[in-house]
Amino acid sequence: MCWLRSLLATIAIASGAFAGELNYAIQGGDQLSITAKDVEQQAWKIFNGEKAPLIIVAAVVNGSLVVEEFKWPFDTQPSPTPEPEPQPGPPTPHPNSVTSLIWIEESEARQPSQAAALIDKSIREAISQRRISFRVVDVDVKDEKGETPSDLAALIDAAKSKGLPVVFGLDANGKTVLEAKVNTREDFESLLRRLGVAVVEQRKEPVGSSPPQSQSKPAQPQSSGSCASGSCPTTGRWLIRRR
């Protein structure tokens, strides 16, 4: 690098022609950093010119010395800003971190598929067994003051922006750690599986089957003299007296 600087110091400004075409890279915002691209070594020197400072760049490219005047502004494009790396999706919450589920909907617009998810007995039992509280909240819910409850206001606003219905999972501190749109029973069951909640299907009785008969006492054996109909004639005794 020292020999490049010494060379620049000995270059006469009268030498009007400089060979080579260097490419430059620009980095920074308010304070720019400009360097020659794809070079092995480089050095910059500023001389007092007639009208403006004269900037000379000397660089070694593929083993050859290239010296040229750096003019500002120059016709080149700054180095493209690298595109940001894609952000990972929301992490799956730890199964034990969710202590409550809140289903937010427009109850008047509830669809049959959504109702099927809400009333499913196997889903309700699975949630209860895991001791997870479950609430169904209408977006228009109001407290005694006629206002949206403070603990639900942020969730309701988020649900409206995402499209109803939305299920939120909260941890013990009330922090939202899970959210998902649910439109069918299958959607709800899939969400519960992410939490480690196993939904066991209730066994359905075949159509037309009758409930099991209750056990009855075994029939008592009848004696040979008993009456099968249950209504037996009685036989009276006649007392015959002789005169």
In the chain, where the domains are located: 2-70, 100-194
User: Would you give per-residue pLDDT tens digits along the chain (243 residues)?
Assistant: 555 555 555 444 334 434 457 888 888 767 778 888 888 999 988 888 777 788 888 888 888 888 888 876 644 455 566 777 776 655 565 656 899 999 999 999 999 999 999 999 999 999 999 999 999 999 999 999 999 999 999 999 999 999 999 999 999 999 998 899 999 999 999 999 888 888 887 655 455 544 444 344 444 555 445 455 555 554 444 444 555
- pLDDT value for 12: 40
Provide the Cα torsion 165, 171, 175, 179; round to 10°: -30
- pLDDT value for 159: 94
Strands 133-138 and 166-170, sheet pairing = unpaired
Work out the number of other CB atoms within 10 angstroms of the CB of residue 108.
8
Q: Are 66 and 20 in contact (CB under 8 A)?
A: yes
- pLDDT value for 74: 47
For domain 100-194, give the CATH number. 3.40.30.10
Q: What's the pTM value of the predicted model, to 2 decimals?
A: 0.47
Residue 56 — φ and ψ, nearest 5°?
Answer: -115, 135
